[in-house]
Structure 1
Amino acid sequence: MFFLIGKAAVTAQANASATLDFDIRLKSRARIQLDDGREAGLALERGGDLLSDDSGELVVRIQSAPELVSIVLCGDAHKLVVACYHLGNRHVPLQIEPGRVAYLHDHVLDEMLIGLGLIVGREQAPFEPVSGAYETASHHSHPHHSH
């Protein structure tokens, strides 16, 4: 069975889930597989983690799949800001937390940050980058740049 799903009402309770990597979660149209094996099609606006079919009977929670991410841990706030500056200048989506920055693994970016004196590690983890300012502003949109 194939479902076409889009944004769900905020009050809905999920009765299915789909664990998706970051690239798929960015798309507004995609063919996906629910965690229970059923196939579904996404047709949605960007953002949100609850989706439903037209009937409202199927409510799907979108979850972040573990992916290979590069992790920069640093107690020096200035070095971490410099790292974020250089990564942001390359339009790299970043997961920014106190003392830590993560991005989808890229050995070229790893080498650049190591060259700046930072220590870069890798791990399999869900990737939840910070939303861009244009994504949170309801009156303005900005296209996603893929690199």
Structure 2
Amino acid sequence: MLMLTQRLNSATEISVNFTLFLTAEERTRTRYRFETPEGQSLYLRLPRGTILNDGDLLQSQTGEVVVKIAAKPEPVLTITSSNPLSLLRAAYHLGNRHVPLELTPHYLRLSPDPVLQAMLNQLGVEVKPEIVPFQPEIGAYHHHS
């Protein structure tokens, strides 16, 4: 079993041994066991509170193996509107519910939820189910390690 314990600077040109595709929730886990498509066991052991991002590099304890983290496509709801104020209003209401939310100037994205989807439909924004990588905003009080 290979233990991943250290985050590397992504800007460094390093040879990657594996790419690990993880959902948004899986990228918040600091202690977790994964299987590579090749059948190798990887054990994640990172400082508590670490949130992994698409493109992050992790190194094994011995330094000989480097794993790249990739955002795995997963079911989401993508919210769009031709009216910027409607999109802003949707972000406000979703923020009040403290749901993980991906924010961009052109769309919002969240995990599927029928209650929230009904609320968004009432707000008059377009809601489209998709399967794409989900990269929610990191909380304002989270210190990136």
Scaled by the length of structure 1, what TM-score is found?
0.85
Tell me by how many angstroms 1:60 deviates: 0.3
Alignment partner, residue 39 of structure 2 = 37
Instruction: List alignment gaps of at least 5 residues for structure 1.
Output: 139-147
Q: Which moved more, 1:32-41 or 1:124-133?
A: 32-41
Check if 1:111 corresponds to 2:95: no
| One-letter identity of the residue aligned with 2:44 | L
CA distance in 2, matches of 1:29, 1:94: 23
Alignment partner, residue 95 of structure 1 = 102
Q: Which moved more, 1:29-38 or 1:16-25?
A: 29-38
Q: 1:122 aligns with which of 112, 123, 129?
A: 129
Please give the secondary structure, in 1, of the residue aligned with 2:42.
Answer: strand
Q: How does 1:7-26 map to 2 (within 5 A)?
A: 7-10=6-9, 11=12, 12-26=14-28
Q: 2:88 aligns with which of 69, 81, 87?
A: 81
Would you say how many aligned residue pairs link Structure 1 and Structure 2? 137
User: Retained in 1: the 8 A contact 2:51–2:144?
Assistant: no
Scaled by the length of structure 2, what TM-score is found?
0.86
Instruction: List alignment gaps of at least 5 residues for structure 2.
Output: none
CA distance in 2, matches of 1:27, 1:7: 14
Please report the RMSD computed on the Cα atoms of aligned residues, expressed in angstroms.
1.6
CA distance in 2, matches of 1:118, 1:50: 37
User: Retained in 2: the 8 A contact 1:16–1:35?
Assistant: no
CA distance in 1, matches of 2:31, 2:37: 18
Identity among equivalent pairs (%): 36
